[in-house]
Amino acid sequence: MALKTEKIWLDGVLVHWEDAKVHVLSHALHYGTAYFEGIRCYELADGRSAVFRLEEHMRRLADSGKILGFPLPYSVEQLCQATKEVIRANKLKACYIRPLAFLGLGELGVYAPQNPVNVCIAVWPWGAYLGDDGIKNGIRAKVSSYTRHHVNVTMTKSKTSANYVNSVLAKAEVKKAGYDEAIMLDTEGYVSEASGENIFIVRGGKIKTTPLTSILPGITRESIITLARDKGYDVTEERFTRDELYIADEAFLTGTAAELTPVREVDDRQIGAGKRGPITEDMQTIFFDVIKGKAAEKYAKWLAYV
Ligand code: PPE
């Protein structure tokens, strides 16, 4: 099993992978009352390992808990240390990191304010989320028939487990139809994000991405905006329509798991030249240099050495 490693950090201690278990009456299993992160640790050009934007991810985890009203029982600092500890314990040079906080065993019924908040951090090796070919040549996306969350239905700035049922439905729908990834529209019909990534378009040399409304505030998204502006690109955060996506010169998705993946087709319409575009490729080069510790000194603060 790809997820099998030696140890998982659970409620303050490193336990054997086999022993990281919960009871079937845990609140989160019934109502999706959990929140999580997805983080990556990379092996750098010099052989060391570093976690990309660890503190920002743990801060977002804390924000998720605050939004939901069942906050983390650990500090951001404690969880950053725990992450490094679990990577070292599993002797991994590069891995995906999955912190999860969940309402545990106590009462059932939707109001269970006394239940404990349990926290685990697991790590495992995870390759290209949308495939190595996808990273290089781009993926085929389809707009899902499922709408993305309304900002007052679930809280979109919280990475809540229950929110992901929407992604599960959308992704399964398009995968069964033969596409690689689902793009979802917001409740007003504008492009929102993909099932597990934020979305960018390029037209006339200018870059555009969805503003922070119905979307998860992606840390990769924010990194790409910063890197693109530093490189001199014009980047706007502005809503755009499905047909604006169709006529883009380039489109790409960003996320921790997907990294920076070009989109070569949407709803059977070729995007630009139907392959990775030049600005997408430029941003990939810059991004991959940064995560490998090969970029300018000013981005070194984004790397937390293990
Ligand atoms: N939108 C959604 C809905 C999302 O799930 C992610 C991350 C992003 C945007 C990008 O956020 P960031 O990783 O901070 O740049 N999706 C995570 C989970 C994917 C999964 O299938 O599980 C991830 O990429 O780790």
pLDDT in tens, 59-78: 999 999 999 999 999 999 99
30 class by beta-carbon count within 10 Å (0-12 exposed, 13-18 middle, 19+ buried): middle
To test the pocket of ligand 1, the residue of 63, 216, 290, 291 to mutate (highest count of ligand atoms within 8 Å of its CB) is 216
219 CA: nearest ligand 1 atom? 14
Tens of pLDDT along the chain (306 residues)?
789 999 999 999 999 999 999 999 999 999 999 999 999 999 998 899 999 999 999 999 999 999 999 999 999 999 999 999 999 999 999 999 999 999 999 999 999 999 999 999 999 999 888 889 999 999 999 999 999 999 999 999 999 999 999 999 999 999 999 999 999 999 999 999 999 999 999 999 999 999 999 999 999 999 999 999 999 999 999 999 999 999 999 999 999 999 999 999 999 999 999 999 999 999 999 999 999 999 888 999 999 999
Roughly what angle, to the nearest 10 degrees, separates helices 219-230 and 278-291?
110
Rounded-to-integer distance, Cα 95 and Cα 87, Å: 8
The Å distance, Cα 37 to ligand 1 centre, comes to: 8
96 CA: nearest ligand 1 atom? 25
Rounded-to-integer distance, Cα 35 and Cα 69, Å: 11
Rounded-to-integer distance, Cα 102 and Cα 32, Å: 8
**Nearest CA, atom 16, ligand 1:** 196
**Nearest CA, atom 4, ligand 1:** 196
The Å distance, Cα 224 to ligand 1 centre, comes to: 14
39 CA: nearest ligand 1 atom? 25
**Nearest CA, atom 19, ligand 1:** 196
- Residues lining ligand 1, CB < 6 A? 38, 167, 193, 196-198, 216, 218-221, 254-258
* Spatial contact of 40 and 56, defined as CB atoms under 8 Å apart: no
195: number of CA atoms within 13 Å, CB side? 24
Instruction: Give the residue from 205, 181, 208, 207 showing the smallest Cα distance to 195.
Output: 181
In terms of residues, how long is the chain? 306
To test the pocket of ligand 1, the residue of 97, 197, 226 to mutate (highest count of ligand atoms within 8 Å of its CB) is 197
Rounded-to-integer distance, Cα 8 and Cα 124, Å: 10
- Check 159, 206, 231, 292 and give the catalytic one: 159
In this structure, what token pair is assigned to residue 270? 């070729």
**Nearest CA, atom 1, ligand 1:** 197
* Annotation says 159 is catalytic: yes
